[in-house]
Structure 1
Amino acid sequence: LVIHDLLSLRYKNISTHQRFYFKYLLPLLIHRTKKIVTVSETTKKDIVRFLGYPAHKIDVIYNGYDDKRYFPTSQNEKVIEKKYGFKNYLLAIGPTYPHKNFELLLSAYKQLDQETQKQYPLIIAGGKKNYLSVLKKQVQKLGLEKQVHFLGYVPIELMPALYREALTFIFPSLYEGFGIPLLEAMACGCPLIVSNISSMHEVCDDAREAYFY
């Protein structure tokens, strides 16, 4: 049995279907399995804590990434600048649920002076409709419509360039089983600003430029 995280047991604002599976069906499954594989020591501890599964029966195998797609380059591609018109931007991706903590990111960005905001726009890619609508309302309330830009879905073939051309990749999440985007950003040579939670240290402690807050 493979478990990536126990998000649905830790946060109530996840879908009802997911919570039902993790709260009622998963406990039935784990008592019939001889081994669980998970993606981080953090999730392993959660499995022991929330599901009562023996630690010695849990193996940790970290996630990987596609090194044929995500890699640094010395070329000045300007792919994102040509397609979207942005350069010198701060990047954040994947605002799917509130635990991703994008409200804090927007509030922190608001603290920058206007000249800095103008010089370094905040680009948010991907996400889910319901949470995006909350964030867009916050952007309007903060008066950041000209500085914060929502790209929506970005094709996977553009993701490497999105990382490479960013000044930094910001990952403010309050909870992650692993955090694959961090691997992808590191592989592309993008500096990181990361929330100071345990799973992030598992992923990013070997990064050349990773700043925890």
Structure 2
Amino acid sequence: MRVAYDITSIDGQPSGVGNYTLHLLTHLLAANSGHEYMPLSNRPTCPTPLSAYAAAPASRAFPSRMLWMQCVLPGALRALRPHLCHYTNSIGPLFSSCPYVVTIHDMTLSLLPGYHPWRKQLLVRPIVALVARRARQIITVSEHARQDVIRVLRVPAERVSVTLEAAAPCFRPSPNDEQQRVRAAYRIAGPYVLYVGTLEPRKNLVRLVRAWNALRRAGKINQRLVIVGARGWQDGPIFQTVRALGCEDAITFTGYVPQGDLPALYSAADAFVFPSLSEGFGLPVVEAMACGTPVLISSAPALVEVAGGAALQVNAASEPS
């Protein structure tokens, strides 16, 4: 079977959906199932380990993933003639006859619209609904996300399947010398509490900074806060809060960190905190656990499901909590 596989979420700094997409295809290729996989990308090159595989042609005229999917990809699929497509990040072309499955990671675009750019609400949200209704099967990443998909998109339950995510094999306790190397590389001194994820409103980082600073001021903790992740939409209030509280010297913003350094950062942390308001899965929670790091999560249902009772929980809407 020829399977066209959407890798548009993979870029030079993969995280979240990009890591899901990359690692799933890597393991599908390693399975040697006899199927032929054809990566679909709006970029001219495919990242390792996909560099040996040809992808659908990129178009300089449509750098936007969504526009490329609607305007360029249908013609590419007619030329490639796959038996099946797998769209890995909620959307696909509306005008293509190729049968497909789609992975929908969460429904926050519908359930928490205020935490997404208005253009995404206006353009992407209706496409997600249309693509879901035409899909042969919808894949999602947790039972909570599955129930959200069924309820919000009004699709039959039998057409929605759960495939849980997993931490990559590199996530395991790191030796002390590796921890020290990474500490030095990112200039992290002393004990610390760690967050990993994109800097955006849905991740609840303003409240995290305020709660952590209150505990530090009260003398209840002595750990610095290390925030790992690329800058995202409307991340300005996070930095404004840090400046207003006067705690710049006690917080480290590393920016994006490649996967190879993350296990040591997790391993060296006193605790990992993930206070997100909503998630479809919450892969950093599993990564931290795999590295032997104590985990503190919000009470968001998907995080509670994924943690399986092995993490402390707090009310994401309450700083005292």
The alignment's TM-score, normalised by the length of structure 2, stands at 0.61
How far 1:132 moved relative to its partner?
3.4
How far 1:168 moved relative to its partner?
0.4
**Secondary structure of the equivalent of 1:71?**
coil
Residue number in structure 1 paired with 2:235: 132
Residue number in structure 2 paired with 1:46: 148
* Counterpart-to-counterpart distance in 2, 1:25 and 1:168: 39
What letter corresponds to residue 23 of structure 1 in structure 2? R
* Counterpart-to-counterpart distance in 1, 2:175 and 2:123: 46
Residue number in structure 2 paired with 1:14: 116
* Counterpart-to-counterpart distance in 1, 2:188 and 2:303: 31
Deviates further, 73-82 or 149-158: 73-82
- CA, structure 1 residues 73+162, in 2 after alignment: closer, same or farther (shift >3 Å)? closer
The alignment's TM-score, normalised by the length of structure 1, stands at 0.89
Residue number in structure 1 paired with 2:106: 5
**Which structure has more RCO (C-alpha within 8 Å, separation ≥ 6)?**
1
Q: Does the aligned pair in 1 maintain the 2:141–2:281 contact within 8 Å?
A: yes
* Counterpart-to-counterpart distance in 1, 2:147 and 2:216: 41
* Counterpart-to-counterpart distance in 1, 2:121 and 2:298: 25
- CA, structure 1 residues 189+82, in 2 after alignment: closer, same or farther (shift >3 Å)? same
Q: Does the aligned pair in 2 maintain the 1:81–1:87 contact within 8 Å?
A: no
Unaligned runs of 5+ in 1: none
- CA, structure 1 residues 81+195, in 2 after alignment: closer, same or farther (shift >3 Å)? same
Aligned match of 1:201 in 278, 295, 304? 304
How far 1:99 moved relative to its partner?
1.2
How far 1:140 moved relative to its partner?
0.9
Alignment length (residue pairs): 210
| Bigger CA radius of gyration | 2
Residue number in structure 1 paired with 2:312: 211
Q: Does the aligned pair in 2 maintain the 1:95–1:132 contact within 8 Å?
A: no
- CA, structure 1 residues 174+13, in 2 after alignment: closer, same or farther (shift >3 Å)? closer
* Counterpart-to-counterpart distance in 2, 1:129 and 1:3: 20
* Counterpart-to-counterpart distance in 2, 1:60 and 1:146: 43
Q: Does the aligned pair in 2 maintain the 1:70–1:188 contact within 8 Å?
A: yes
How far 1:131 moved relative to its partner?
3.6
Aligned match of 2:180 in 54, 70, 78? 78
Deviates further, 101-110 or 88-97: 88-97
Residue number in structure 2 paired with 1:58: 160
Q: How does 1:1-213 map to 2 (within 5 A)?
A: 1-10=102-111, 11-67=113-169, 69-73=170-174, 75=176, 77-83=179-185, 84-114=187-217, 116=219, 119-205=222-308, 207=310, 210-213=311-314
Unaligned runs of 5+ in 2: 1-101, 315-321
- CA, structure 1 residues 115+79, in 2 after alignment: closer, same or farther (shift >3 Å)? farther
How far 1:211 moved relative to its partner?
0.6
How far 1:133 moved relative to its partner?
2.5
**Secondary structure of the equivalent of 1:178?**
coil
The alignment-based identity, stated in percent, is 31
CA RMSD across the alignment: 2.1
